[in-house]
Amino acid sequence: MKPTVHDIAAHAGVSLATVDRVLNGRAGVRPAMKAKVEAAVEALGFVRDVAAANLAKGRVYNFVFILPANNNSFMQNLRLEVQAAAERGARERMSIVLRDVPAFDPAALVAALDRVLEEGLDGVAFVAVDAPEVRAAADRLVEAGIAVVTLVSDLSASRRTHFAGIDNSAAGRTAGTLMGRFLGARPGLVLPLAGSLMVRDHRERLEGFTAVMGERFGARAILPVLEGRDDPAETERLVTQAIAEHQGIAGIYSAGAGNRGLIHALSMLSREARPVVILHELTPATREALSQELIDAVLNQDAGHEVRSALRVLKARADGDAVIAAQERIRIDIFLKDNLP
């Protein structure tokens, strides 16, 4: 049977009011009485129910999610998951605010992070742009005792609290293995695409992809990376131009978004001329493209899991609790035409 506050009071020989003051860090307790309560807590193995204590105090957790303001399908899905969490959070004494910043804009992201610092909120989750000034802003928040979770894309060498996202290097290596096996002996070049090399997730995916292609499929030439800034129109333009300039593109790996533009460019090609295509995130557009065999494989991450993970970590850190690493691991799903959910 778990010890209660009544057991602590009896063991320490103090009143329930004194136990309550000590457990909740309130003033008005003599040092000797505080020491007795703390000794009783340790002797009895009492584990405080932080959630219940916060409920009793009427505490509200104040969290902010900062997302890039673009129209790619995955970010829109992530936005919906944050909005759903905000609706649920009201019942769990969490105030969750969603704020937009321009995509791939370090200065705008720094301004949004500094606003969190000025407001003194409990925690922030954001899609990181891997830039020194963003790293410094995140570190300022951590130094102020504010929990910081990077979401989807991490922030190298920062003091951030946690990263809620997949292992992007492993995702890129997986894409490289799939590409090499799908191509087999088919000759031709491989074209890599990214949204921007300013974000770590795209960079790590491409590094993993090119590493595996070099290690296991070394005879395959890989073209320079094209950056479509997650914009469908720009991605379509770049892909169409590359196909016209480089005869014999056998494979395309898209490490970022803007996939609606890529799919439209592919739909303009004859079936015989279509390259092997591997990209990220299962969206209505990529699902339809898989069904029509315009693309070959999709690597997916669960946006809902990432948002829930970020909130669990933010809340745990606000309460001073440990994070359960296994619970927060985000897996990589691989979808083909044959196993679409």
256-270 pLDDT, tens per residue?
Answer: 999 999 999 999 999
pLDDT tier for residue 321 given thresholds of 50, 70 and 90: confident
**Do 197 and 232 lie in a common domain?**
yes
Q: Is the pLDDT of residue 146 over 90?
A: yes
Task: Give the integer Cα–Cα distance in Å for 149 and 157.
Answer: 14
How far from each other are the two terminal CA atoms of the chain, in whole angstroms?
A: 45
Q: Which CATH number covers residue 22?
A: 1.10.260.40
User: Quick one: average pLDDT of 221-229?
Assistant: 97
Percent of the chain with pLDDT over 90: 77
Question: What total of structural domains would you count in the chain?
Answer: 3
Percent of the chain with pLDDT over 70: 95
- pLDDT at 165 (0 to 100): 97
CB 252 within 8 A of CB 274: no
Question: What's the token pair of residue 287?
Answer: 């699902």
Q: Is the pLDDT of residue 9 over 90?
A: no
Task: Give the integer Cα–Cα distance in Å for 150 and 67.
Answer: 11
- C-alpha 11, offset from chain centre: 46
Task: Give the integer Cα–Cα distance in Å for 80 and 77.
Answer: 5
- pLDDT at 305 (0 to 100): 96
Helix (H, G, I), strand (E, B) or coil at 254: strand
**Do 206 and 247 lie in a common domain?**
yes
Q: Which CATH number covers residue 114?
A: 3.40.50.2300
Radius of gyration of the chain (CA): 25
Mean residue pLDDT of the chain comes to 92
CB 336 within 8 A of CB 296: yes
CB 202 within 8 A of CB 154: no
Helix (H, G, I), strand (E, B) or coil at 307: helix
| Other beta carbons less than 10 A from residue 172's beta carbon | 28
Residue 335, domain member (yes or no)? no
- pLDDT at 44 (0 to 100): 87
User: CA separation (Å) from 105 to 3, 21, 146?
Assistant: 52, 47, 22
- According to DSSP, residue 330 is labeled P
Helix (H, G, I), strand (E, B) or coil at 167: coil
**Do 91 and 11 lie in a common domain?**
no
Residue 337, domain member (yes or no)? no
User: Quick one: average pLDDT of 152-170?
Assistant: 97
User: CA separation (Å) from 5 to 30, 98, 321?
Assistant: 18, 39, 20
For 265, the domain range is: 168-300
Residue 108, domain member (yes or no)? yes
Q: Is the pLDDT of residue 64 over 90?
A: yes
**Do 78 and 225 lie in a common domain?**
no
Nearest to 157 by CA among 142, 169, 145: 142
**Do 159 and 307 lie in a common domain?**
yes
> Tokens 């997949």 label which residue?
166
Q: Is the pLDDT of residue 57 over 60?
A: no
